[in-house]
Amino acid sequence: MDILLIGGTGIISTAVTELLLRRGDNVYLLNRGKRENPFAGKARQIVADKTDRAGMKKALEGLKFDAVANFIAFNADDVAKDVETFAGMTKQYLLISSASAYQKPPTHYIVTESTPLHNPYWGYSRNKIAMEDAAVTAYREKGFPVTIVRPSYTYGEFGVPGVFGLSFQHFERIKKGKPLIVHGDGQSLWQMTFNEEFARGFAGLIGNARALGEAFHITSDEVLTWDQIFQAMGRAIGIEPKLVHIPAEFLGRAEPSMYDGLKGDMSYSIMLDNSKIKNVVPDFRASTTFYEGMRRCLAWWAKHPDAHLATAPNSEKVDRVLALWEKALALAEPQKSL
């Protein structure tokens, strides 16, 4: 198949690109060409800026695709422009949304694709919901062949997940005996998904007639507490991590950039039910445990030691928040009588 990926070099899209190339598809990557292309000679790169639609149309002139997947759409306007650009050019349009769009707070811990989309806390999620609405309207009113895909927290060998985002700072801190921050009491439930597992489910939706007009989330079935997530990192290294539990509200005050994502996503215990993707893509199974994923990430990090350079700002942020928390605890201690 001829498949265009808008993006194609991120944590999720890299794994998708690799899988599609292995199975023999003709893959086109449309991006600004700002990053080194890891698929040079394998995938055709189309250099264009998605904000410059005239230039984008010119770069795509004369091409037709079996599928177009947009990994870097973030609002309804992005989708409206894609509908205009790709109408009549593709048999399927796969839109990457987010599982954070699901109802918060949840009324039930089991989440399916029919769970309402509602997130009053996080603007990112509200934009994704508006984006989905635009895509569904285009499907209903114009027959635009959309498939919506909602990843949750997805990681890969070159990005380790944590409260402060993807980086190798967690491994560094565990090795140095420095504490890791865990939001809340560490007992809320979560599903971490290895990017290669996501790619298998995603690839199964491409060219799949049963996927048209439908929405799917694709995650692991392994449900862990956040404490267990960080403990698995420690087991992969062979060192017990030091965990410091800090309320999400305090984290939001200490580091405002964190609050929306914590309140609007990671603070809740949910279980994403993958029955729908398994029904439509029968071969899909997420068999890589989080511990196995951490072992693979650790092996990648050992081969790319310079990867730690990008984690320093995150680690400094963690130290700053920890210092504020220690001060707060000291203030909360009862005063000793003279």
| Per-residue confidence (pLDDT) for residue 136, from 0 to 100 | 98
Higher pLDDT, 209 or 169: 209
Mean pLDDT of the chain, nearest integer = 92
How much is the pTM? 0.93
**pLDDT band at 308; cut points 50, 70, 90:** low
- Which amino acid is located at 247 in the chain? P
Q: How far apart are CA 42 and CA 48, in angstroms?
A: 19
Is the model's pLDDT at 72 over the cut of 60? yes
Percent over 90 (pLDDT), the chain: 76
Which among 260, 265, 259, 226 has a CA at the least distance from the CA of 99?
265
Q: How many C-beta neighbours within 10 Å does residue 3 have?
A: 26
**pLDDT band at 162; cut points 50, 70, 90:** confident
Is the model's pLDDT at 132 over the cut of 80? yes
Higher pLDDT, 45 or 40: 45
Angle at 206 (CA atoms; ends 80, 149), nearest 5 degrees? 55
**pLDDT band at 312; cut points 50, 70, 90:** low
The domains of the chain, with CATH numbers, are 2-330 (3.40.50.720)
Q: What is the mean pLDDT of residues 169-174?
A: 90
Looking up tokens 């989330």 gives: 217
Is residue 147 within a helix (H) or strand (E), and if so which, with residue range? strand 146-151
Higher pLDDT, 121 or 312: 121
Q: What is the mean pLDDT of residues 148-169?
A: 88
CB distance 70 to 94 below 8 Å: yes
Helices 169-176, 290-303: inter-axial angle, 10-degree rounding: 90
Q: What is the DSSP letter of 248?
A: H
